[in-house]
Amino acid sequence: MGNICQISISCDGAIFNRCLDCFLGKAAYIRNLQQNVEALGTELGTLIAKKNDLMSRVVNAEQQQMRRLDHVQVWLSRVDAVKADADELIRDGPQEIEKLCLGGYCSKNCHSSYEFGKQVAKKLSDVKTLMGEGVFEVVAEEKPEPAVDERPTDATVVGLQSQLERVWRCLVQEPAGIVGLYGMGGVGKTTLMALINNKFLGSPTNFDVVIWVVVSKDLRLENIQEAIGEKIGLVNDTWKNRRTEQKALDIFRNLKEKKFVLLLDDIWERVDLSKVGIPLPGRLNNKSKVVFTTRSEEVCGLMEAHKKFKVECLSHNDAWELFRQKVGGETLNCHPDILELAETVAKECGGLPLALITIGRAMSCKRMPEEWSYAIQVLRTSSSQFPGLGNEVYPLLKFSYDNLPNETIRSCLLYCSLYPEDYRISKENLIDCWIGEGFLNESVNFGVQKEGYHIVGTLVHACLLEEVEEDEVQMHDVIRDMALWLACDVEKEKEDYLVYAGARLSEAPDVRKWEKVRRLSLMENQIDNLSGVPTCPYLLTLFLNNNKQLLIMDRGFFQCMPRLKVLNLSGAKQLFYFPLVISKLVSLQHLDLSDTNVAVLPKELNALVNLKCLNLENAWMLTVIPRRLISSFSSLHVLRMFGIGYSSSDGIIREGELEELLGLKYLEVLSLTLNNSRALHCVLSSHRLRSCTQALYLKDFKSSKSLDVSALADLKHLKRLQIVECYELEELKMDYTGVVQNRSQPFVFHSLRKIQIDDCNKLKDLTFLAFAPNLKSIEVNSCHGIQEIVSDVPEVMRNLNLFAKLQYLGLSSLSNFQSIYWKPLPFPHLKEMKVIHCNKLKKLPLDSNSAKERKIVIRGYGEWWEQLQWENQATQNAFLPCFRSMDGVPY
């Protein structure tokens, strides 16, 4: 108790000093708070001014397509961040200053003022730091080219997706280096190319650069080089002045180390890629790609495209969807009748996107059914008057017309517009008309027929005609309208067409309209009477074909047509007597009487000394051709007499008539009806007749039990063969010796496309058909002795794919028929098979692969179908959708 506790603290002077400094430093944040807040506002204003000056320089540079430097952007971002914090401190500053007391040396809330003062001091330091760092001599640099430049396309593109995917797979998965996209004008080639270009934006690929160049009709290599140079960074004032060869070297050096895609839009002729400086894809392990669009398939060949894609018109559904979008739902739904009328208008466009878009936009404000009905009438009769067609669509399509090699080919194209819409035009008949018109050069050594086929090919490759089958072409509706626009309006003085083809006329139009016309088509109508005497001093072509009821012609109908060259009366079934006045048409060079019932050709026809083409095919009733009439046509190039004289038991083409043909030195094409083996021997023994015979109709060989078809192999151009009513004929002999010896080429009937056998009851088989590799149609009717088509062939033939190109097989009334061949065949191109009254045929001659794509149509009676034997249920199920009952039994 009573003890005193004493505590002694020793204090080091250094510690005391540090504590004092700490206290005074923290006190400074409070003491200098008001001064620092004011300084922060001042310095921040200066910094913002500096930032604004810098941004002006940046914006100016970016307007010149330059890219701001990264460290400039970082500084600007830091300024923005500091400003946001500083603004908040300046805004809260007055409230914190209010807390100060003792002349600003102390605070009512020391901790709060200390923390706030510390933040202000720190932000002031940051602002001063940014001021010091914000000195930039250069703020931007030249912007590097993006690998792909996006191309503008419609918001909704209809119907190109499947084609886009096919081309895209080719570019990224297949080795093809050069790819061609071809198709008619307005079909969407450029749109498809733009979609391909843009797909590189969103799809991971290892291409370094995608280059887009518009080439157009006026090809200039320097323009292509400049577009490429611009994309890969070569272009400057000095480079622009370099020679083409030097530019090519620069482009080559730049691109040879890259994997590039070059898109060339709208080329009309070959672009020499080497002269441009493009490293050729596919060479030296170059995996780059060149894709181009063109209206000509021929250009694809000239560009040595490794793969080509035809850009087709839209399907019916896609065409309607595009048209519907352009018209708009408000218009389509404003009246209950408009929808059906709109579908008719869309159909007139033939699936061509350019026409669908143009017409759809023009109809978007038409809200009355009468307006739509009127539009349909205009499109069908004078389409060039429809808004947008005559001044937008047709001029664009006319580029293809203008680009055709010469005036002759242009005239040949316009001639196709004489046929109705969607008409399948026979190449043979079209070329015959061209010969009659004088379009083809008769001085050429290889023959006018071959020149005609060359022109057809040129028009097909230019996408101005469409090849339907090997022997037929078709003209797209919009191309036909464009051709009529040219022939009737633009080039009226030179061409002047008047076309009512397929117009369902029951009487001919007013003959007063014919006076200045050069070419007139009234084909495919129901005209039964041609009255009056039309004055047609300029008329060159007159199509009256397929007016099946045409019965009456005034005697003077043809007398005022002094220049008429082409007259087509085919299909006039009521024409039994030949109009004698036709023999007065001394300028006539083409006369078509096929499929008429004219019985006698008058001797007065020998006045037609300029005749080059005479078509009498399938004039079944024709029984009289006067002696020496045919030989009087000394300029004949084409003579068609297939299937004539059906009612003549002895035939009208005998040895004497055949000898007349030997004097026709210009004859190139011949089809014949022969009634005996002597006449056939006469043809086969003449080199001239063998070389031009393209079709044979052999009828009623009375005394012949055997026919050596091996001899027909000498007819190198034989396309059609029909054997009819040879009741005694038991065998079509085939000499296999040459086949066995020539193992590499066992086929002998290379040109034969169509065979028909009717009413030859004693024939057992048609084995010789195995030697016709290009057959497209086989039809056998009422041959009760035939048990199979091909019975036995040499060993060399057994592994070959027989009938690989067959499209149609017709079998009718073959009571003993059991099979086509000893094993099933694939028939990869078969479209239709018709079987009627062949009750012993228990198995189809098709293998299971033939039904996979469901393209075959099998016609027959339900009872026969039910009795067929199948390998298994799966095979039967595969073929079931192919069957079409001919007796109403549902399947």
Query: What's the CATH number where 505 sits?
Result: 3.80.10.10
pLDDT tens column, 244-276: 999 999 999 999 989 999 999 999 999 999 999
Query: What's the average model confidence in pLDDT over 479-500?
Result: 87
Average pLDDT, the chain: 86
Note the pTM of the prediction, 2 decimals. 0.81
Query: Residue 438 belongs to a domain with what CATH number?
Result: 1.10.10.10
Query: What's the average model confidence in pLDDT over 155-164?
Result: 87
Which amino acid is present at 127? V
Q: Are residues 105 and 176 in the same domain?
A: no
Residue 235 lies in a domain: yes
The band of 885, judged by pLDDT with boundaries at 50, 70 and 90, is confident
Query: What's the average model confidence in pLDDT over 748-770?
Result: 89
- In terms of pLDDT, which residue wins out, 453 or 99? 453
- The residue among 468, 492, 516 that closes a domain is 492
Q: Are residues 439 and 333 in the same domain?
A: no
Q: Are residues 303 and 398 in the same domain?
A: no
Which amino acid is present at 84? A
186: tokens are 């307005």
Residue 646 lies in a domain: no
DSSP lists the bridge partners of residue 543 as 521, 568
pLDDT of residue 629 exceeding 60: yes
Q: What is the pLDDT of residue 839?
A: 84
Query: What's the average model confidence in pLDDT over 355-363?
Result: 94
* Residue 294 dihedral angles phi and psi, to the nearest 5°: -160, 160
pLDDT of residue 182 exceeding 90: yes
- The residue among 344, 372, 403 that closes a domain is 403
Q: Are residues 467 and 532 in the same domain?
A: no
Which runs of E-coded beta strand occur in 463-511? 466-469, 472-474, 497-499
Question: Computed over its alpha carbons, how large is the radius of gyration of the chain?
Answer: 43
Residue 637 contacts residue 435 (beta carbons within 8 Å): yes
Query: What's the average model confidence in pLDDT over 75-101?
Result: 76
The band of 747, judged by pLDDT with boundaries at 50, 70 and 90, is low
59: left (phi over 0), alpha (psi -120 to 50) or beta: alpha
Q: Are residues 484 and 523 in the same domain?
A: no
Query: Residue 210 belongs to a domain with what CATH number?
Result: 3.40.50.300
Residue 508 lies in a domain: yes
355: left (phi over 0), alpha (psi -120 to 50) or beta: alpha
**Domain limits for position 95:** 13-142
Q: What percent of the chain is modeled with pLDDT above 90?
A: 51
pLDDT tens column, 74-86: 998 998 888 888 8
pLDDT of residue 887 exceeding 70: no
Q: Are residues 175 and 300 in the same domain?
A: yes
Q: Are residues 119 and 25 in the same domain?
A: yes
Q: What is the pLDDT of residue 721?
A: 95
d(CA 354, CA 346): 12
Residue 217 lies in a domain: yes
Q: Which of 61-70, 166-175, 256-265, 352-361 has the lowest mean pLDDT?
A: 61-70
pLDDT tens column, 785-828: 998 888 776 665 656 678 889 999 999 999 898 888 877 777 88
The band of 8, judged by pLDDT with boundaries at 50, 70 and 90, is very low
> For the chain, how many structural domains are there in total?
5
Q: What is the 3-state secondary structure (H, E, C) of 691-745?
A: HHEEEEEEECCCCCCEEEHHHHHHCCCCCEEEEECCCCCCEEECCCHHHHHCCCC
Which of the 8 DSSP states describes residue 247?
H
Q: What is the pLDDT of residue 101?
A: 66
Residues in the chain: 891
Residue 807 lies in a domain: no
571: left (phi over 0), alpha (psi -120 to 50) or beta: left
Q: Are residues 170 and 304 in the same domain?
A: yes
Torsion of the alpha carbons at 400, 403, 408 and 411, rounded to the nearest 10: 30
Q: Which of 26-30, 169-173, 204-208, 834-838 has the lowest mean pLDDT?
A: 26-30
d(CA 16, CA 21): 9
The band of 539, judged by pLDDT with boundaries at 50, 70 and 90, is very high
Q: Are residues 288 and 207 in the same domain?
A: yes
DSSP string, 325-382: HHH-HHHHTSSTTHHHHHHHHHHHTTT-HHHHHHHHHHTTT--SHHHHHHHHHHHHH-
Q: What percent of the chain is modeled with pLDDT above 70?
A: 88
Q: Are residues 198 and 286 in the same domain?
A: yes
pLDDT winner (highest mean) among 6-10, 92-96, 477-481: 477-481
Residue 819 lies in a domain: no
Q: Are residues 38 and 92 in the same domain?
A: yes
The band of 744, judged by pLDDT with boundaries at 50, 70 and 90, is very low
Q: Are residues 397 and 444 in the same domain?
A: no
Q: What is the pLDDT of residue 6?
A: 46
Residue 750 lies in a domain: no
Residue 481 contacts residue 394 (beta carbons within 8 Å): yes
Q: What is the pLDDT of residue 11?
A: 44
Query: What's the average model confidence in pLDDT over 705-734?
Result: 89
Q: What is the pLDDT of residue 768?
A: 85
Residue 743 lies in a domain: no
- The residue among 476, 492, 508 that closes a domain is 492
